[in-house]
Amino acid sequence: MIPFRSFYSSLAIRLVFITYFTICLSTATIFVSSDDSDLVSYVTLPDHRVLKCNITYYDRQAVAPGYWFVAPYWITGGEPYTNRWMPYQIGPYIFDQDGTVIGLDLENANGTVLNNRYQITGSTPVNDKHEFYVYAPGRSLAIHHRREVVDLWKIGMPGVPRLVKLHGFRDIDYTTGEIFFEWDSQGHVPLDESFIAVEAGPPDDPADYLHANSVEKTKDKNGTVSLNPPSPSCPT
Ligand SMILES: *[C@@H]1O[C@H](CO)[C@@H](O)[C@H](O)[C@H]1NC(C)=O
Ligand SMILES: *[C@@H]1O[C@H](CO)[C@@H](O)[C@H](O)[C@H]1NC(C)=O
Ligand SMILES: *[C@@H]1O[C@H](CO)[C@@H](O)[C@H](O)[C@H]1NC(C)=O
């Protein structure tokens, strides 16, 4: 069994794999800002502009079947359209072996464990593609969040409701979905400990006052979770 610690490590494994078999994956080289020829648009995916891949096989027989995962740029929610060329279009993307996109936009991605035949043995939602830590067969820690309307009394605005994200993690059986333990910041980390302006922003956009990035099991079997509020200089 191959325990993929997170989407990113599966990506790294795949990239090593690609390099090992000397497949050449490259995009066209010269573009001007008004030229979109490096991107593909799909009628059924109007919000997406997908990188074109120029794939050359030197020995196709030597390449194991599978898909290619292309690294995500950290924004996954979509940017305003420009025709500025960037070496990092919004991702992540999954391509088949001929460079046709077969999957994208994994903002609400799962942590998925495959066996050595690349068959799925279990899958569980992982908030924002953050930590998915398989610590034993079937058992994992997964970053999790829920949205809840809270009263802002703690930051001096009693009676003012605000939708917030409450981040934490689950100790979960990724094969059955059974939750052994769940923790989130509600009742543990008050709103006034964040340097985010919790009251700011559109009401339907939950305040991300404390953002969970990673979680680990300590030797005494407790969980340690790393949380930080996002900021423009420190994207999470
Ligand atoms: C694709 O890459 C190969 C190998 O570098 C090159 O010979 C070919 O011209 C490229 N094709 C396009 C359409 O860019
Ligand atoms: C994610 O996991 C859930 C729970 O196991 C499952 O129902 C869902 O199909 C999975 N989604 C994907 C895209 O794998
Ligand atoms: C781990 O959890 C146990 C049980 O809740 C507690 O008694 C112990 O102090 C915790 N250890 C640490 C290092 O926090």
Q: pLDDT over 90 for what percent of the chain?
A: 29
pLDDT tens-digit map of 135-193? 999 999 999 999 999 999 999 999 999 999 999 999 999 999 999 999 999 999 999 98
Peptide bond into 92 cis (omega under 30): yes
C-alpha to C-alpha distances, 132 to 79, 136, 184, nearest whole angstrom: 26, 12, 16
Q: Enter the tokens of residue 125.
A: 């939602």
Q: Does ligand 3 lie within 6 Å of residue 220's CB atom?
A: yes
Which pLDDT score, from 0 to 100, does residue 218 have? Answer: 82
Which pLDDT score, from 0 to 100, does residue 15 have? Answer: 36
Give the C-alpha separation, 213 to 236, whole Å.
Answer: 7
> Got the DSSP string for 60-77?
GGGSPS--EEEPPPS--S
- Whether the predicted pLDDT of 231 surpasses 80: no
Which pLDDT score, from 0 to 100, does residue 212 have? Answer: 86
pLDDT tens-digit map of 2-35? 333 333 333 333 333 333 333 333 333 444 444 6
Give the C-alpha separation, 207 to 49, whole Å.
Answer: 29
* pTM of the complete model: 0.58
The ligand 1 atom nearest the CA atom of 28: 14
Domain boundaries in the chain? 36-76+87-228
Average pLDDT, stretch 51-75? 79
Give the C-alpha separation, 24 to 55, whole Å.
Answer: 6
C-alpha to C-alpha distances, 147 to 43, 184, 186, 230, nearest whole angstrom: 33, 11, 11, 16
Ligand closest to 222 (CA) is: 3
pLDDT tens-digit map of 193-203? 888 899 998 99
Q: pLDDT over 70 for what percent of the chain?
A: 66
- Within 6 A (CB) of ligand 1 lie 24, 28, 54, 56
